[in-house]
Chain A
Amino acid sequence: MIARLGGALLAAVLALGAADPAAAQQRQVRIATEGAYAPWNFTGPGGQLEGFEIDLANDLCRRMNARCTIVAQDWDGIIPGLTAGRYDAIMAGMNITDRRLEVINFSRPYAAGPHAFAVMPNSPLRAMPGTGRTFSLATQEAELVAILNQIKPLLRGRTIGVQTATTNSAFLTQYFGDAGATIREYRTTEEHDLDIAAGRLDAIFAAVTAITATAEKPEFRGLAPAGPLMSGGILGRGVAVGLRKADADLKAAFDAAIEAALKDGTISRLSEKWFKTDIAPRS
Chain B
Amino acid sequence: MDLAFLADCFLRIVPGIPMTLALTALSVSVGLVFACLLAAMRLSGNTLLDWPARLHVFVFRGTPLAIQMFLIYFGLAQFEVVRTSVLWPYLREPFWCAFGALMLNTAAYGSEIVRGGLLAVPCGEVEAARACGMSGFLLFRRIVAPIALRRALPGYGNEIILMVKATSLASMVTLVEVTGLAARIISTTYRVFEAFAVAAAIYLAINFAIARAVAALEWWLSPHLRGAPPPAPDLRLAH
A–B direct touch in complex (beta carbons closer than 8 A):
yes
Residue positions of A touching B, CB distance < 8 A: 75-77, 79-80, 83, 99, 103, 164-165, 184-187, 191, 194-195, 198-200
| Contact indicator B174/A184 (Cβ below 8 Å) | yes
| Contact indicator B77/A194 (Cβ below 8 Å) | yes
| Contact indicator B83/A164 (Cβ below 8 Å) | no
B94 proximity list for chain A (CB < 8 A): 184, 200
B186 proximity list for chain A (CB < 8 A): 76-77, 80
CB distance from B69 to the nearest CB of A (A): 13
If A164-B184, A200-B92 touch, whether A80 touches B77 (CB-CB below 8 Å) is no
- Which 3 A-B residue pairs are closest in the complex by CB-CB distance? A76-B187, A165-B187, A198-B77
Task: Count how many chain B residues have C-beta atoms less than 8 Å from C-beta atoms of the other chain.
Answer: 17
A194 proximity list for chain B (CB < 8 A): 74, 77-78
| Contact indicator B183/A76 (Cβ below 8 Å) | yes
If A198-B78, A198-B83, A200-B92 touch, whether A165 touches B184 (CB-CB below 8 Å) is yes
> Which residues 87-121 of B sit at the A interface, judged by CB distance below 8 A?
92-94
User: Interface residues of B: mostly helix, strand, loop or mixed?
Assistant: helix
If A199-B83, A199-B92 touch, whether A83 touches B190 (CB-CB below 8 Å) is yes
Residue positions of B touching A, CB distance < 8 A: 74, 77-78, 83, 92-94, 172, 174, 176, 183-184, 186-188, 190, 192
| Contact indicator A80/B192 (Cβ below 8 Å) | yes
Chain A residue with minimal CB distance to B185? A165
B187 proximity list for chain A (CB < 8 A): 75-77, 79-80, 164-165
CB distance from A161 to the nearest CB of B (A): 8
The CA of A191 and the CA of B97, in the complex, are separated in Å by 15
A198 proximity list for chain B (CB < 8 A): 77-78, 83, 92
The CA of A195 and the CA of B174, in the complex, are separated in Å by 11
